[in-house]
Amino acid sequence: MGTLHDLVLHVIDKFKDRVAVIYDDELENSVITYNDLHKLSKQIATILRNYGFDDEIIGICMHTNETTPAILLGILQVPAAFYFFEPGAEKFILKALKSLNSAVVVVDISYLKDIENILFLLNPEVLVLIPEWQLIVIKLNGVNRQKYSIHLAYCISTSGSTGVPKIVRVPHKSIVPNVIHLRKLFNITSNDLIFLAAPLTFDPSIIDIFTSLSCGARLLITSNQIKILPWKLAKMLGNHYHVTVLQITPSLLMSIGPELLRTSILDKSSCLRILALGGEKFPSLDLIKKCRAEGNMTTFFNLYGITEVSCWSTFYQVTDSDFASNQSEIPLGESLSDTTTMVINDDGHVLSEGCGWLYTGSLNRLCFVNDEVTPENGLRNTGDLVTIDQSGKIFFLHRKDEQLKRNGKRLNLQEIEHVVQQEDFVENCKALIFNSSVILFYICSSWHKEKMNESQREQLLKASLQKELSAHYQPDIFVDTNSFPITYHGKLNIPVLYDMMRDSSRKQQPVEKIVEQCWKTTLKIHKNIPIDTTERFLAKGGDSLLAMQFINRLQLDLNLQLNHILPLVLHNPYKDILDIIRESLSKHKHSTSDEESKPSELRLSSDNWKGLNKFVKKKHLENVQNTQVHSTDSVNYINHRQKNIIPKLSKDSLGKPENVNVDDDGILPKKKTKTNNVSNNHYGLQSKSDSISLEFPKLNSVCCHHRKKEVNIHWTYNTGKCVDASPIVAQLR
């Protein structure tokens, strides 16, 4: 069957001049060809092989960009396996690195500060600095090294959404059949453009990367900031790049909203051939129909699988007859290559019809879960309750931990959702049970919000549910929200929905109390500590991502659109933020009580925008005036970032690279350092007792004369999101 990297290396010569990977986050746009992909992967493979890390598990902590597939491909060619992790959850990462015997990590220099606690506990030793990729290779002397003889491809942890996260070691023979079958099923060719929707901590990302690169197709990568902004994601996928194959979770897709989907990704002239939904229950066909424009030709697939049998186990292609029928639910479908699925009841009997637990597995596609030395033979219990109809079709019901009873009677929340989704004004909905109460969360289309208020919508829903369902199904609480929270992996964030319900009393609280609680929760400030109205978000330990979380909490609690206050949150004092929210809430209440009102999505008034622009200009001028330009070089920056990792540094004259250059075609990173020998385009470090000897390039210093100059703002541009960047200072010649 071969390996993941064999699948790619087999086609590189054929497509060497074609674009392999595109990275675009609206601030940076980079591409690499298949030839460059091969060169970069050989370089990383040589570095790791020279240090003897073959047949080991190598940790990776880096931003996902155009070079990431090359890093993965290089590690696989060592040969070795990779374990991708991101800053955060320090205890779990520490445990994972030790249990996987991962004694070396490849780290993005910008992440060093974020994971320094983990590194210090594992006795780090810097081996190699790769400046053109902004990467550093670190040996972890506190981890026991181990050679694996089972030809692992990668290791991944389960999301933990249904319990304690598990660490899964995946051999090549487990994932390669998935890649081969799915690329054939989707008929992927070199003309396709595939979007990497999942993060590398979620195994569908492996399918995206290797189905694309093994067929000579193009892989599109963007930042997390783009993914969390529905209108930007829709524009990138449907209007700008015309993606042809998309594998995505239902929640991430539905976060875009039916109205926007119908005019972008799923419009009549859409280039999207394949839309494969997996990782969660497939949406009802009623909801899918709302999202498709008339005449849309996209083919839908339902994918099902568990990480313990990475990655997918079953597939179902939604047919035209499915869309034409009155059915709402879609079956799990057929088993993928070299995979078995069966339904077993509580007595251990295999069922051909009826309700039972779904098991999936394989005799060959065997993965190792946690500390397993030998994987379980055959089947694993998925923990999912399913039903088989008379024709043998398997339908998903719910997770084992989602079995519900109310007033002694069994309750299927999906029946509530099915009735609610019949209403034209409902874009999406989710029913949950909380302390024996049924709560219905729903999203109303912006068009219908103009036509009826929240009370009227609730009465319509109650009437429909009372007509269709018995008394024990009737929701106790209706929550009209603008969006559903999703996890980092793109799944519906059920705990956050429960938090919304626990905090539902906030709806009756003053806005001041709501803002204060969201502020303290986001910044982890104790509830008894009073807030100083002059304090600022960044000064209290916040950053751009936390600011987005703060705004999301406010939007959910206030049922109010506040996306445009991000600059205010990042730069203004607490009292200014509170004033803007008060004003926005006041306008929102006024608009919803007025029959002639405009849509409830609010934007800052022109006066407030002027205030924000004035503040941004003032802040920019302060930064320029307070900035002193000194002679420096890029190595000083790297040296500074590594002070907490490297005890002592001494410069040894081991060679001097040529000047920094960028390839004419823009394929290689802008910070690439060009040398006479490409394979030596990194800097080795050698341990000498308690010190480390490091080769650094000596760059020409920039001479600056301090002159008194007046600085004026010539233009400004609102990127629509937070940009963490330093001011640009140019020397006047």
Structurally, at CATH architecture level, domain 412-491 sits in 2-Layer Sandwich (3.30)
Q: How far apart are CA 416 and CA 411, in angstroms?
A: 9
What integer pLDDT is reported at residue 648 of this predicted model? 31
Question: Does residue 631 surpass a pLDDT of 60?
Answer: no
Among residues 656, 652, 668, 669, the alpha carbon closest in space to that of 699 is found at 656
Higher pLDDT residue, 652 or 580?
A: 580
Question: Does residue 611 surpass a pLDDT of 70?
Answer: no
Lowest mean pLDDT among 226-235, 357-366, 462-471, 642-651: 642-651
Q: How far apart are CA 198 and CA 176, in angstroms?
A: 18
Question: Does residue 603 surpass a pLDDT of 70?
Answer: no
Lowest mean pLDDT among 42-46, 219-223, 470-474, 515-519: 470-474
Lowest mean pLDDT among 99-113, 481-495, 691-705: 691-705
Q: At what angle do helices 4-12 and 34-50 cross, to 10 degrees?
A: 130
Among residues 265, 338, 331, 340, the alpha carbon closest in space to that of 303 is found at 331
Question: Does residue 628 surpass a pLDDT of 50?
Answer: no
Question: Does residue 707 surpass a pLDDT of 50?
Answer: no
| CA dist 394 → 299, 306, 315, 330, 402 (Å) | 20, 16, 11, 9, 18
Higher pLDDT residue, 117 or 678?
A: 117
Q: How far apart are CA 371 and CA 95, in angstroms?
A: 12
Question: Does residue 22 surpass a pLDDT of 80?
Answer: yes
What integer pLDDT is reported at residue 94 of this predicted model? 93
- Structure token pair of residue 447: 């068009």
What integer pLDDT is reported at residue 393 of this predicted model? 93
The pTM of this model reads 0.66
Among residues 411, 416, 403, 471, the alpha carbon closest in space to that of 442 is found at 416
How many other CB atoms are there within 10 angstroms of residue 250's CB atom?
Answer: 22
Among residues 117, 140, 130, the alpha carbon closest in space to that of 56 is found at 140
Domain boundaries of the chain, sorted by first residue: 4-228, 337-403, 412-491, 511-588
What integer pLDDT is reported at residue 451 of this predicted model? 81
What integer pLDDT is reported at residue 328 of this predicted model? 82
Q: How far apart are CA 5 and CA 446, in angstroms?
A: 47
| Tokens 């009155």 sit on residue | 326
**Mean pLDDT across 80-95:** 91
Question: Does residue 341 surpass a pLDDT of 50?
Answer: yes
**Mean pLDDT across 208-235:** 93
Higher pLDDT residue, 612 or 287?
A: 287
| CA dist 58 → 145, 504, 645 (Å) | 11, 45, 19
Question: Does residue 70 surpass a pLDDT of 90?
Answer: yes
Q: How far apart are CA 78 and CA 57, in angstroms?
A: 11
**Chain mean position to CA 132:** 25
- Structure token pair of residue 710: 């007046």
> Could you tell me how many helices (H) and strands (E) the chain has, helices first?
23, 30
What letter does residue 654 receive in the DSSP assignment? -
Question: Does residue 204 surpass a pLDDT of 50?
Answer: yes
Q: How far apart are CA 353 and CA 314, in angstroms?
A: 18
Question: Does residue 21 surpass a pLDDT of 60?
Answer: yes
Helices (H), 186-317: 204-213, 224-227, 230-234, 250-254, 258-262, 285-291
Q: How far apart are CA 295 and CA 289, in angstroms?
A: 11
What integer pLDDT is reported at residue 476 of this predicted model? 78
Of the pLDDT bands very low, low, confident and very high (cuts 50, 70, 90), residue 508 is: low
Determine the residue type at 95. Answer: K
How many other CB atoms are there within 10 angstroms of residue 501's CB atom?
Answer: 17
Question: Does residue 673 surpass a pLDDT of 50?
Answer: no
pLDDT in tens, 308-318: 898 999 999 99
Question: Does residue 288 surpass a pLDDT of 90?
Answer: yes
Cis status of the peptide bond prior to 215, with omega within 30 of 0: no
What is the overall mean pLDDT for the chain? 78
**Chain mean position to CA 380:** 27
Is CATH 2.30.38.10 correct for 337-403?
A: yes
Among residues 194, 492, 183, 162, the alpha carbon closest in space to that of 306 is found at 162
| Tokens 């129909």 sit on residue | 289
Question: Does residue 594 surpass a pLDDT of 80?
Answer: no
Quick check: do 412-491 and 511-588 share a fold?
A: no
What integer pLDDT is reported at residue 477 of this predicted model? 79
Question: Does residue 147 surpass a pLDDT of 70?
Answer: yes
For the domain covering 4-228, report its CATH number.
3.40.50.12780
pLDDT in tens, 369-425: 888 876 666 789 898 889 999 899 999 987 765 556 665 566 778 888 888 988 889
Question: Does residue 44 surpass a pLDDT of 90?
Answer: yes
Question: Does residue 85 surpass a pLDDT of 90?
Answer: yes
Contact 219, 22 (CB under 8 A): yes
For the domain covering 511-588, report its CATH number.
1.10.1200
Question: Does residue 58 surpass a pLDDT of 50?
Answer: yes
- Give phi and psi for 450, each to the nearest 5: -70, -30
Higher pLDDT residue, 689 or 733?
A: 733
What letter does residue 561 receive in the DSSP assignment? -
Of the pLDDT bands very low, low, confident and very high (cuts 50, 70, 90), residue 550 is: confident
- Per DSSP (E only), the strands in 86-133 are 104-108, 124-130
